[in-house]
Structure 1
Amino acid sequence: MQLLQIPKPYCRNYTFGSNCAESCECVAENSLGCNSSSGVCDCKAGWIGSSCERRCDPYHFGKGCEENCSCQNTEVCDNENGTCFPANVCLARNTLNCLPALSLTCQQVSENCTHGDTQKPSLKNDMLDICCGGASNFTDSICIARDDCDCKTNYGGFACIACEQGKYGEGCKQKCTCQNNATCDHVTGKCDCSRVVGKTGDHCDEDCPPRFYGLNCSSSCNCSQFQNPVCNPQTGTCTCQSGKTGHNCYEDCRNYTFGPNCAESCECVAENSLGCNSSSGVCDCKAGWIGSSCERSCDPYHFGKGCEENCSCQSTEVCDNENGTCFPANVCLARNTLNCLPSLTLTCQQVSENCTHGDTQKPSLKNDMLGICCGDSSKLIESICITRHDCDCKNDYGGFACIACEQGKYGEGCKQKCTCQNNATCDHVTGKCDCSRVVGKTGDHCDEDCPPRFYGLNCSSSCNCSQFQNPVCNPQTGTCTCQSGKTGHNCYEDCRNNTFGPNCAESCKCVAENSLSCNSSSGVCDCKAGWIGSSCERSK
């Protein structure tokens, strides 16, 4: 005889197991119940997971999320029935209008970081932009919102990610005041100078304080304490003051250099100087030398440091510019002299300051200098020099102080006489006349008249007159001399209005009503018919 099988009771209220003593771990609003034997949750359409805790992803719907959505790229479908609606992807922590059932972690999205098409607008690509591009981290969550993301206070821009650079505050509507490409806090607007080199302050626009440089002026300069400014605010390189050099600006300038970092060269004549000031570049001249570059010797009457000592020599002697020792000497014109002492050369410009103070009756080197340099301003550009004993003149020069021959003399010793006329000059060596400043004359002696059709200095200019004139023009001025019957600037015009003769300067003596005209060259009247006489004054 078979025993009657009594069915097990059906568990209710999310219980299962023996005597329905166990509780199912299902999310009640996402499930229909659970298996009364195993406790496995029976998820509603649109939900999956052991507890029915997860909604379908935005691209699937239905029971077990097994149906594919057929929405546009910028839409999502209802997880239960697949209905499409427009949406946006937002960063969940900054967004007020997330659809609670449509949130994902960036950890989930990151599995597809390499599979997006960032050129094609889509919700998927927006998710990838947020989670894969560094705008958030894998612990962040993203969500779906209908239409635009409604951002929390102090957030805005794409997907409610923190304000774009340069903006801050509620709605990201306030503008940062940071300078030099510094960033600002998206909530407070406070500038962050940590990546700005050589600047600091509230707006990252203030120069580094002394002895600091680098990012936000956070590094200390390693330079001599006497430098100001201490170092370059960007690189930290020491900015050496005048007279100092070296990595830390502890070394003094050497080898005729001066200035900041010893970058300038002193303009001193090395053989005449001891060195130069490392800060200013001022030359330190040796005894016997002066000038900004120590380029000038003491004058013949002074010696020593700064040329401040007076020589005690005879009037025909000079003293050594360094130690004051006297020796006999002569004054010579430097450009014509072979034996100048190189350290004893003066310009006539220097000497000319004493032109009115000499005693030309008393032999002395000073008076010889005045005799050479004074009285002719053109000589101020000349230089004179001191020689031991007599001046040794260059070839073709001679006489007092090796000055070139006086005008009117030439040749060795300036003993031959020039033969030039009309105040022409001659070459002091060859005696050849120079007519270049003589008007209306030419030839070997500048005494020949200009040839036809030439005039002016050395007859070098051509007359601009009618070819029929002779003589053509004035040899001095070039003014055309018109022949009889011609007039005008170039003598091309015939005489008119009863005039005749050279340049039409004469008036014809004809009775006007009895004559036709007169000859432009001779002035002879051309009488009308029935009239005769030199003036056409008589009738036939």
Structure 2
Amino acid sequence: VRSCAVSNGSCEQDCVQLSPAHYQLRSPCADRNGGCMHTCKNDGWRAQCNCLPGYTLAQDGKNCEDIDECETGQAACAHGCHNTQGSFTCVCNPAYELGADGRKCYRIEMEIVNGCETANGGCSQKCQQSTLGPVCSCHHGYHLDDDLRTCVDLDECEAGSSCCEQDCTNYPGGYECYCGAGYRLNSDGCGCDDVDECLVDNGGCDHTCQNTAGSFQCYCRLGHRLDEDRLSCIPLEGAVEALEWSSRIAVERPLPQITLLRDYFQQLELCLNNTFGHDCSLTCDDCSNGGVCDMEEGHCDCPDGWTGVVCNQTCPKGTFGRNCSFSCKCKNGATCDPVSGHCRCPPGVSGDMCQDGCPKGLYGKLCNKKCNCANNGRCHRTYGACLCDPGLYGRFCHLMCPKWAYGPGCSEECQCVQQNTLECHRRHGSWVPCDHVTGECLRQCPPGFHGDNCDL
């Protein structure tokens, strides 16, 4: 009997009755695509699911999942890749276009005009081409004007951006520091160091010379007083009739107000008419820099940062504060404020205690700019100005000190015996040749002389 009703027509799966006398097998993919998401294939009367290109069969054997060709590397795009459902799209970098194969990228040929080649792009100094056209910039010491093309001089002295401690003179593209009378420029080209006038001919003083900040002062020995020229000392006459180291002191009448002092030998000394000092030449009017007169003790009480009988001397180097009793903790050759102890860092150095600085030959905020100084010299950390080593000078530290000078900034004069040297000094009439760094006299003695100073 040919009927699906009998033993399912001997069909393994579905049996379809076509007529009372005929029947046929039914494909497993005919019913709901065999359960497949994409395509179904009758494989031995079993449904075999397959996926379209760009997809892969899921673990359930029916559903299809997208393949990310960009992730797997199947796309093989030259530049960039963008995945899509069942596919992908290659993309190119700017100034490139996609080739016919959809994968390779080719540069777009176009004419690029360099605007800096014509009249320097309208810039007065430096010009650099960009995608938006010429961009102007300026050399060190200049800044760009409002028109963004013209460079005008930056007056560091007026702007307060110079490193000068005292006087500053601006010039196109830079500036130079100067010092007032009684000071000389430090080797860093910025600071000003006090000149000790007492080292040369005793400052012109007859007796004692005492150096002060930017100046000096003469003092006289006991029994003398300063003359009007403040240099000469003249004897005291008629001030005291007799002086007896007993219970009795005879003086001129009437008895003036006096101040009692003790000298270095603990002898009792007498100053008249509200004067004090070892030569009785000082009065309360001589107290300077905020000092308060103390007639009982015979000196001036000095504020922080000052010392001396009349408060006319700053604290010695390395000290500060009341009575200059505190020690400075500044590093890298920095000086400290004599009042507060605040560190004054040299150019190229920073930090609370001047502990941070660029290595020699570099400058800039990140110490990544190279100094344009000869001999790999150190330069100002911010501005790049050259800071010369002892024995060198000049804008780029490229000049050696003259034969008569040596030391930092060539500020020291050779101390060799002039009359025993061979050559001629431009001012004094005889050369004083010495080592330009240390000041050591060069052994160039004339016949008949020898020794380090040619004085033997």
Shorter-chain TM-score: what band? under 0.3
* Larger strand share, 1 or 2: 2
More contact order relative to length (CA 8 Å, sep ≥ 6): 2
Of structures 1 and 2, the larger Rg is shown by: 1
Q: TM-score, normalised by structure 1?
A: 0.18
